[in-house]
Amino acid sequence: MKEDILNNVLQDTLRQLYSLKQMGERAVDQLNDDQLHHIPEPNSLNIATIMKHLATNMVSRWTDFLTSDGEKEWRRKNREDEFVDTLASREELLELWNQGWSCFMDSVKSLSQDDLGKIVYIRNEGFTVVEAINRGLTHASYHIGQIVYLAKMYKSDSWHSLSIPKGESEAFNEKKFSQAKSRKFH
């Protein structure tokens, strides 16, 4: 029973990661390259740079995360580069993006029940594996929110909603509540 609960937690973590990744991609797919690289104000980051930072953070945190510090030596020396828009093409950006998400998701997929209570380190600060996962989910959610918000601003009236479109809550709820109760994921 306990193992089933832990497997459900890991499976739900993977669903949440996949959902966040998709949400970011669905927002980015609506943008042209100029919008990806547009800096909304001098002290802000553009979407491409947010994506670069998130992906690089994931690669650092989740590569050999059970056995090495999540702040890898290569990142400690070059972290500030994450906040400079250096990726020339959308393809290069998406390649790094996919590398980061794959690293995080593959690490979660590799976990066993025995791993969840282990201590991992990020900048020499100890976290249980569950705490590190939650930290990673929170970090990803924060930046996906930024990406979606900026994309929605740039697209304005031509934005395609990623959830329930404004003004359509009543119809959405009517449809949902007309169906029998069920579990979406199991």
Q: What is the pLDDT of residues 49-100, one digit of tens each?
A: 999 999 999 999 999 999 999 999 999 998 989 898 998 899 999 999 999 9
pLDDT-derived band at 141 (thresholds 50, 70, 90) equals very high
CATH code given to domain 2-177: 1.20.120.450
| Nearest-angstrom CA–CA distance, 49 and 88 | 11
Percent of the chain with pLDDT over 90: 74
Ranges of each domain in the chain: 2-177
For the chain, what is the mean pLDDT? Answer: 93
| Res 2: pLDDT | 61
CA 118 to the chain's CA centroid: 23
